[in-house]
Structure 1
Amino acid sequence: MGSITAYDSAAGKRYRVRYRKPDHSQTDKRGFRTKREAELFLASVELKKATGEYIDPAAARETVGKLGTAWLASRSHLKPSSNYVYESAWRLHVKPKWGGLRVGTIRHSDVQSWVSELSSGGATGKPKSATIVRRCHDILAGILDTAVRDHLIPSNPARGVKLPRKLGREHVYLSHQKVAALIKASGDHAPEVATLAYTGLRWGELSALRVRDRDRARHRLNVVENAVYVNGRIVVGSPKTHERRSVPYPQFLDAALDEACADKNPDELIFDDGRGGYQRTPTMTVNSWWDRALADADLSPMTIHDLRHTAASLAISAGANVKAVQRMLGHASAAMTLDTYSDLFDDDLDAVATQLDHAADPSVGKMWATGDARAKKKAH
């Protein structure tokens, strides 16, 4: 146990509590007006030490900047593209605001004000998107979560703040006829467009495909790599979910794929940049071949990723079940597929009632028909 001693101060008699921290080093806290206050404080310290909830007051002096650097380094398991957006948000928005502050001084209301300022634009007048605001909050909250686990602060003041609602962009679904028009307008890039529209591959997955990844006999494309443009360079790694997968493609794509694979060895890229290297995403440049193809096909502006949504739509309309679509797209779960494309399954809701109507025993309907007849007879 610690000890309590009285001492004289300019303001009168005060009490000092001296105790040992869990690491056995000695410290004290002074300024208690009554001995009772000092006793209650000492009792709370001993209880927290016994339950493992003790927070060293000195620990709360760690700055967000120091902890943030370590937190970012601990996220090396993320893919380079994800790491880049988090590092960028930290450098531009989180560190300038919180980097020099001690974690023990941050209040919940401070975090809420910051989130609101980012959303509205504050003094800059340039509001940030809900995606950026939520990402910035994730970084700060993640750093403070670590501080809580390391017993630097008792609770996380960033948790429980109100965040802007992230509104998903409406999906674009092209019909077979519109896909055909777009393929025709894409010229030399027609094979890429056709493959994206009928397999649901991400652009990075398509651009990383090698000749050896195509199984012509089974009409499958084996997705084993992903080539993503990150901060001025192409970074090649595993697919987005870190899971390899086998994606089916319709037989009519054989001719386009045969042409793309012609005279190439197994290690070469199927869809290269003309010099054997990886292609950059066409939507990264103004007036790209993609923009011109959309205009020539008389289609509204859309991203090349929208062809992934089109592939999902065409597969579902062809009768594919949600599990098959999940595996084709490489989603982590069927629930994710349903959440993403719930609008494509609306017709299934109508079909439920129709199928139940056909499957039910005819006598079920007759019971109510009989009831109606009795009610009418009673009314007369």
Structure 2
Amino acid sequence: MASIAKRPDGKYRARYRDDGGKEHAKHFVRKVDAQQWLDEKTAAIVTGQYVNPRAGMVTFSSYFADWSQRQVWAPGTDKAMRLAAQSVTFPTVQLRALRRSHLEQWVKAMQTADRGAGRPAGLAAGTIRTRFNNVRAVLRAAVRDRLIPSDPSAGVTLPRTRRAEAAMELPTPEQVRALLDAAGGRFVAFVALAAFAGLRLGEAAGAQVGDVNCPGRTLHVRRQVQRGPGGTVLVAPPKYGSERTVFLAPALVDVLSRHIADYRPGTDARRWLFEGEPGDPPHQNTVGYWWRKTCRDAGVAGFTLHDLRHYYASGLIAQGCDVVTVQRALGHASAAVTLRTYAHLWPTAEDRTRRAAAALMDETFGPSADSVRTREA
């Protein structure tokens, strides 16, 4: 029920009852403004979009603390969400008072933050985008919980990230060979799994001997190693969609077989393929040390271990593998993720046209069309 009544002082009092039966009122100088306000509130109630004006009095940090307890997150997601929530510049601002300007100020603060002597100012554009999207998930949840009528982060401009083709620098085959030669010992197989099977650092560190099927030339990715509390090693399931079977090249099977025979002999299929502290898989910091030493010894600079995963993907694409094949090999959650990352590596229509025309000429004139040009000369 809604109504408008003129008060003795000449103002108009508009009243309505929300979907819970509670009455709300507001005073206006003009009757037309009172009617417009009532129309908006009534429409929101009828369409199910009504938000109690008092509902958003909770602060951002308080809402996140309550909301996050109800979420089913993997440990890595939980850590990323908390890091993003703790980085905002508006933790004590009530949700109903949050404005787009609050989000813009936070983004600017991340972009210009002083990160200490010798380090570049501000966070990388990709990091800012990730934190922003995580906080935006919180605000959208508040909209669904009817604490605020709309998401104040909508339309905020973020720093531009580099295009994948510009940002991605792949090691050459010669550089990968130099890294394998320099790795030596037990780290050779680790580097090989990244370069020729596309395993992430945590996935390779979390592999067990029983995951390797040498006769079948496959490796099953079942788990990953993450940083645990206090610098401990945490073994967790792979990222969503990343549990998979990787089909191995015969030469890679030989590398793994020699590694197991030389460094991980035994009968327990659950023994770690690579070992850090006795009985544990290697910590990410340990793998990082091995990688930096290998790069230094190989004289190769400017690459991360993850770049070998990109090297593997580029090889699959160069051999004509389609998007779904590459997605499954890399354990991406969807083909869209694969395309966002590697679309620039697939041949363009021009490339395919030239190859098709070249194949047609080869079929017509033999293995090489040079004879046509020779006769013309």
**8 A Cα contact 1:80 1:235, kept in partner:** no
2:176 paired residue number: 179
Listed one character per residue, the Cα deviations across residues 92-147 of structure 1 (whole Å, up to 9, x for unaligned) are: x21xx222112222222332233233323499994222233223322332222222
Residue identity opposite 2:341 in structure 1: T
**8 A Cα contact 2:214 2:257, kept in partner:** no
- Equivalent in 100, 103, 123 of residue 95 of structure 2: 103
The CA distance in 2 between the partners of 1:224 and 1:209, in whole Å, is 8
**8 A Cα contact 1:199 1:249, kept in partner:** yes
1:158–1:222 distance in 2 versus 1, CA, 3 Å: same
- Equivalent in 189, 193, 196 of residue 194 of structure 2: 196
**8 A Cα contact 1:119 1:127, kept in partner:** yes
Larger Rg: 1
Matches within 5 A, 1:1-380: 1-8=1-8, 12-29=9-26, 31-77=27-73, 79-91=74-86, 93-94=87-88, 97-121=89-113, 126-167=121-162, 168=164, 170-188=167-185, 189-231=187-229, 232-262=231-261, 263-264=265-266, 265-273=268-276, 275-282=278-285, 288-346=289-347, 349-356=350-357
1:160–1:283 distance in 2 versus 1, CA, 3 Å: farther
Listed one character per residue, the Cα deviations across residues 292-346 of structure 1 (whole Å, up to 9, x for unaligned) are: 2212222123211111122223334445444433222112334433432234334
1:370 paired residue number: none
The CA distance in 1 between the partners of 2:215 and 2:12, in whole Å, is 85
Gaps of 5+ in 1: 361-380
Q: Secondary structure at the match of 1:328?
A: helix
The CA distance in 2 between the partners of 1:283 and 1:266, in whole Å, is 23
After superposing the two structures, state which structure 1 stretch, 124-133 or 55-64, moved more: 124-133
The CA distance in 2 between the partners of 1:59 and 1:221, in whole Å, is 52
The CA distance in 1 between the partners of 2:111 and 2:343, in whole Å, is 28
**8 A Cα contact 2:84 2:135, kept in partner:** no
1:118–1:221 distance in 2 versus 1, CA, 3 Å: same
The CA distance in 2 between the partners of 1:256 and 1:357, in whole Å, is 38
Residue identity opposite 1:252 in structure 2: A
The CA distance in 1 between the partners of 2:146 and 2:269, in whole Å, is 54
The CA distance in 1 between the partners of 2:259 and 2:132, in whole Å, is 45
What is the CA-CA distance between 1:279 and the residue it aligns to?
0.6
Listed one character per residue, the Cα deviations across residues 169-191 of structure 1 (whole Å, up to 9, x for unaligned) are: 73343344432322121122112
Percent of aligned pairs with the same residue?
30
Tell me the matched-pair count: 351
The CA distance in 2 between the partners of 1:25 and 1:339, in whole Å, is 49
The CA distance in 2 between the partners of 1:123 and 1:344, in whole Å, is 34
The CA distance in 2 between the partners of 1:103 and 1:40, in whole Å, is 25
1:353–1:193 distance in 2 versus 1, CA, 3 Å: same
**8 A Cα contact 2:84 2:132, kept in partner:** no
2:370 paired residue number: none
RMSD: 3.0
Listed one character per residue, the Cα deviations across residues 257-285 of structure 1 (whole Å, up to 9, x for unaligned) are: 22333322111111122622111235775
What is the CA-CA distance between 1:87 and the residue it aligns to?
0.8
The CA distance in 2 between the partners of 1:23 and 1:57, in whole Å, is 13
**8 A Cα contact 1:283 1:303, kept in partner:** no
The CA distance in 1 between the partners of 2:33 and 2:167, in whole Å, is 60
After superposing the two structures, state which structure 1 stretch, 158-167 or 296-305, moved more: 296-305
What is the CA-CA distance between 1:34 and the residue it aligns to?
3.7
Residue identity opposite 2:201 in structure 1: W
The CA distance in 1 between the partners of 2:99 and 2:348, in whole Å, is 49
Residue identity opposite 1:71 in structure 2: W
The CA distance in 2 between the partners of 1:209 and 1:252, in whole Å, is 19
1:175–1:163 distance in 2 versus 1, CA, 3 Å: closer
The two structures have a TM-score, normalised by structure 1, of 0.81
After superposing the two structures, state which structure 1 stretch, 207-216 or 336-345, moved more: 336-345
1:37–1:187 distance in 2 versus 1, CA, 3 Å: closer
The CA distance in 1 between the partners of 2:50 and 2:159, in whole Å, is 35
The two structures have a TM-score, normalised by structure 2, of 0.82
**8 A Cα contact 1:201 1:329, kept in partner:** yes
Residue identity opposite 2:110 in structure 1: L
